[in-house]
Copies of this chain bind each other. A is one copy, B any other.
Amino acid sequence: MTQHNLSNTISLLARTPAALNALLRDLPETWTFHNEGENTWSVFEVIGHLIHGERTDWMPRVTMIVQFGEAKTFEPFDMSGHIREIQGKSLGDLLDEFARLRSENLAQLRALNLQPEDLKRRGRHPALGEVTLSEHLATWAAHDLTHLHQISRVMAHQYREAVGPWSKYLGVLQCAGHSA
């Protein structure tokens, strides 16, 4: 298990939009507009959620920690925020918007030129209480991965019956979702 390393975090964050673009752009809607059943997200909705995080969660909370530390509690994240983001958009629009926002946010993060001692600074999460800037930034990267994990599972679900007897060999089809 690795300690958090800001450079490794940024390397991953910088690649996610291109990876999703390569996987999803112009893919048939079977893969991208179907979900896993009632109250679950399609791939399209997941990208909307990633956009909403870029706009309201990741860099806004970095700024809040740097400016106010634990004195100010983060705004709670809106888990329905993607609904506004996807309204009237195509998947291609969302992929473009995600790439644009991520690129702007990483430029803003790099400009802060955070040092190891800055990463120890603390903020206040509305549910988790005290968290460090380091934990927040590591979570940004792990959050990309949790949704890549979800996207692969939502897509595989569309072929649950098509694979016939192979379903028992495919780990992704045993995954219960773990709520993301």
Contacts and interface: CB of A to CB of B under 8 A. Distances in A.
A162 B28 contact: no
Contacts of A30: 2, 5, 8
**Taking chain A's interface residues, is the majority helix, strand, or loop, or is none over half, making it mixed?**
helix
B166 A156 contact: no
Contacts of A114: none
Number of copies: 2
A42 interface: no
A128 interface: yes
Interface residues of A, number: 67
Interface of A: 1-5, 7-8, 11-12, 15-16, 18-24, 27-28, 30-31, 34, 125, 128-129, 131-132, 134-136, 138-139, 141-143, 145-146, 148-153, 155-166, 169-175, 177-180
